[in-house]
Structure 1
Amino acid sequence: MESVTLDPLDRRLLHALQLDARAPFSRIATVLDVSDRTVARRFARLRAAGAVRVSATPRDRTEWLVRLRVLPHGAAGLARTLAGHADTAWVTVLSGGSEVACVFRTGDGAAPPAGLSRHPHVTGVSVQQLLRPLMDRSWAGRTSALTAEQADALRVPEYGPQPVRTAELDRRLLPALAADGRAACADLAARVGWSESAVRRRLEDLRGLLRFHVEVDPALFGCRAQCLLWLTVTPARAAEVSRQLAADAEVAYVAATTGSHDLLAVVVCRDAEHLYRYVYERVGVRPGVERVETAVISACTKRFAPAQDRR
């Protein structure tokens, strides 16, 4: 990513996209009281610099967290290989290069691809299904730039998942949206070979079935310590603990998982001291939390958007 510094307008724009990833620039501009051209130019600059990526994925995909123990000299190369897979959504190097973690998204409940343990640099593999995301907001660091009135003006109503028959169009449209969740209807139409009006109608049909992701590097907001937490929780208190985590400003993601742990959380902090205080003085002492395992994110090789646009 190129060197980028966010000013207040950039932060408001990124907050707006968290509320509605496909909001027209004209609508955002009206709320922010700037010109359409200014908003479009700001977004183009951030996107070109790799500071923001917008993608969309179907809500019905099964998600698997795959954790690979690796020989340190092989972590970066393995992460790049995994980032090239079309079905990986997130690839990170953990614990100074001793581990790689990635999320695979599969259809129809299919398992992640076999054979990862045969990679020459992999010494161990564990797989957990992410049963359900337990957080209905974005990380607070990305969503604190707008006033309440501005946020209300941009927030879209929740679309419930509606059973919509898969169309032939979707087989080409969904990969295009995974590559660029803000692609204009005219560009999408040119890519999938349908009319712009057909694409526009299909997008409206799909809104309840898609989850939009607006990814921004937390370091741009002054937060340079990122960490995965695996929590073992007393079953009777699991729901309470997950609600507490979801309300914390440091938490960017919470999910229920299978395996030896009950919850997974992604934590974003200013620095190592802030991370220490959060994990040991706040999370670890909560009633019901029996054990916390941590793994610092050393590098993020791939976020939600594909590593490259495969046309």
Structure 2
Amino acid sequence: MTQESATPDNHEVVVDELDLAIVNCLQLHPRASWTLLASALDVDPVTVARRWQRLSDAGIAWVSGRAAGQGRAESCLAVVELSCSATETLSIAERVTELPHVLSVEHTTGPRSLTLLVEVRDLAFLSQFLLTSLEGVLATTSYAVTQVYSMGDHWQLHVLDAAQHAVMLGAQPPRLDGLTAAASTPARPYDAVDRRIILLLGEDGRMPVATIAARAGLSESTVRRRLTDLVGNGRVVLRCDIALPDSGWPVISWLWAQADARDIDDVAARLRRMSGIRVCWRISGGPSNLMLALTTHSLHELSVVEARLATEVPEMTIHDRSMVLRSLKRMGRQLDAAGRSVRVVPLDIWADPAGGPILPAGPRTAAATASGRRRRVLLP
């Protein structure tokens, strides 16, 4: 095993191959011990822990947790597009970033100013969330996610070799993530104890059991038992993220597409096998029934990936495209202009949705409608 010397300045961290390998290991097994990672990567456990602390302190990489909704009875996932006045777009983005139901906030190209991913308890909560006004929003469009084929939770750097990959996966049972039949129906609803633990995992998905117990007012044995249930049964999603510019995959683009309903599952299965596909959802609320996120190394690569899509998935027709100019929030983390985490904004699908204003304010709505701008709220 090799061992490194301490790095003196975490403010000027340059990500190298070992850092990427550590992140990839945690993408496979987010709460794995440093000993397991050291075994997979053939380095000293102290080196792995030090490297991760450096990445975490710099906001380059982090592990988070959230309730595994993704279409279950206790969750409604929706994409909300906001058209904002130019002078208020940043202010609106900062305000919606604070909302506990908003998983992600992106500044995007095209007719929408901001694209949000929102998760609430059910359609009634989503309606309440949408029907509160926010000054500066001119129009909204929303799509319900009716099936998740893949999320950013499943995206990997793919820098591990086969042996390293096998070590990481061999140390745990198959990962349940809300997408498999075995994990589709929770054995019981989330209770208050589950929620306390999940909110703490939202701050740090690797938070030690002792820390969770102390902060949640629970015994360590209770926390261990609940974690085994929540993680082992796919009722909490643990996810390792990395700032995209540091990952080597800095560009994200969204595609809205259509596939015949009879072919859509087969189309989605082929899309999931393509390395550039970060997200694949079935959606309802507009002319498209698929929404994809492409991750690429450069802007120029986008045309190459689209050409591959046309060749490999000819049954799919692309209706619209949008590029992410900047991610302001990703799965409960506020991001800076470099895509690095600067603050935790815990996700809470059980919070009061009245705290989440999105729709245009009254006077602005009337003016926008009168001037011919479309105001659409499309629910399934």
TM-based fold match above 0.5 = yes
Task: Tell me which residue corresponds to 2:137.
Answer: 122
Query: Is residue 2:321 matched to residue 1:297?
Result: no
Task: Tell me which residue corresponds to 2:221.
Answer: 197
Q: Does structure 2 retain, via aligned residues, the 8 Å contact 1:129–1:257?
A: yes
Q: Structure 2: how far apart are the matches of 1:175 and 1:94?
A: 29
Task: Tell me which residue corresponds to 1:241.
Answer: 267
What are the superposed Cα offsets for residues 29-64 of structure 1, whole Å, 9 maximum, x if unpaired?
Answer: 122222221111111111111111211122233211
2:213 is paired with a residue whose SS is helix
Unaligned runs of 5+ in 1: none
| Matching of residues 213-228 of structure 1 within 5 Å | 213-228=239-254
Distance 1:276 1:165, change over 3 A: closer
- Structure 1, 299-308 or 107-116: larger mean CA deviation: 107-116
Distance 1:243 1:222, change over 3 A: same
- Structure 1, 293-302 or 254-263: larger mean CA deviation: 254-263
Q: Structure 2: how far apart are the matches of 1:223 and 1:2?
A: 21
Task: Tell me which residue corresponds to 1:175.
Answer: 199
1:73 is paired with a residue whose SS is helix
1:236 is paired with a residue whose SS is coil
- 1:205: Cα distance to partner? 1.2
2:23 is paired with a residue whose SS is helix
Task: Tell me which residue corresponds to 1:139.
Answer: 155
Query: Is residue 2:299 matched to residue 1:272?
Result: yes
Matched to 1:55, the amino acid is: S
Distance 1:6 1:290, change over 3 A: same
- 1:23: Cα distance to partner? 0.8
4+ residue runs over 6 A deviation: none
Indicate the structure (1 or 2) with the bigger Cα radius of gyration.
2
Q: Structure 2: how far apart are the matches of 1:97 and 1:306?
A: 26
Name the TM-score, length of structure 2 as normaliser: 0.75
Q: Does structure 1 retain, via aligned residues, the 8 Å contact 2:252–2:323?
A: yes
Q: Structure 1: how far apart are the matches of 2:220 and 2:29?
A: 21
Q: Does structure 2 retain, via aligned residues, the 8 Å contact 1:218–1:268?
A: no
- 1:90: Cα distance to partner? 0.9
Task: Tell me which residue corresponds to 1:57.
Answer: 66
- 1:6: Cα distance to partner? 1.8
Task: Tell me which residue corresponds to 1:29.
Answer: 38
Q: Does structure 2 retain, via aligned residues, the 8 Å contact 1:164–1:205?
A: no
Q: Does structure 2 retain, via aligned residues, the 8 Å contact 1:71–1:98?
A: no
Distance 1:114 1:108, change over 3 A: closer
What are the superposed Cα offsets for residues 202-244 of structure 1, whole Å, 9 maximum, x if unpaired?
Answer: 1011111111122212221323321111112222332232122
Distance 1:2 1:133, change over 3 A: farther
Q: Structure 1: how far apart are the matches of 2:191 and 2:297?
A: 45
Q: Structure 1: how far apart are the matches of 2:215 and 2:111?
A: 38
Q: Structure 1: how far apart are the matches of 2:79 and 2:321?
A: 15
Unaligned runs of 5+ in 2: 1-9, 70-74, 177-181, 335-342, 347-380
- 1:135: Cα distance to partner? 2.7
Q: Structure 1: how far apart are the matches of 2:113 and 2:12?
A: 27
- 1:97: Cα distance to partner? 9.2
- Structure 1, 80-89 or 104-113: larger mean CA deviation: 104-113
1:105 is paired with a residue whose SS is strand
2:324 is paired with a residue whose SS is strand
1:287 is paired with a residue whose SS is coil
Distance 1:54 1:96, change over 3 A: farther
Matched to 2:278, the amino acid is: A
Q: Structure 1: how far apart are the matches of 2:294 and 2:13?
A: 22
Q: Structure 2: how far apart are the matches of 1:42 and 1:129?
A: 39
Q: Does structure 2 retain, via aligned residues, the 8 Å contact 1:230–1:265?
A: yes
Task: Tell me which residue corresponds to 1:232.
Answer: 258
What are the superposed Cα offsets for residues 239-293 of structure 1, whole Å, 9 maximum, x if unpaired?
Answer: 23212221111111111111221111111112221112222x2324542223331
Q: Structure 1: how far apart are the matches of 2:137 and 2:229?
A: 43
Distance 1:195 1:71, change over 3 A: same
Task: Tell me which residue corresponds to 1:86.
Answer: 100
Task: Tell me which residue corresponds to 1:288.
Answer: 315
Q: Does structure 1 retain, via aligned residues, the 8 Å contact 2:102–2:116?
A: yes
Task: Tell me which residue corresponds to 1:187.
Answer: 211
1:215 is paired with a residue whose SS is strand
- 1:130: Cα distance to partner? 1.2
Name the TM-score, length of structure 1 as normaliser: 0.90
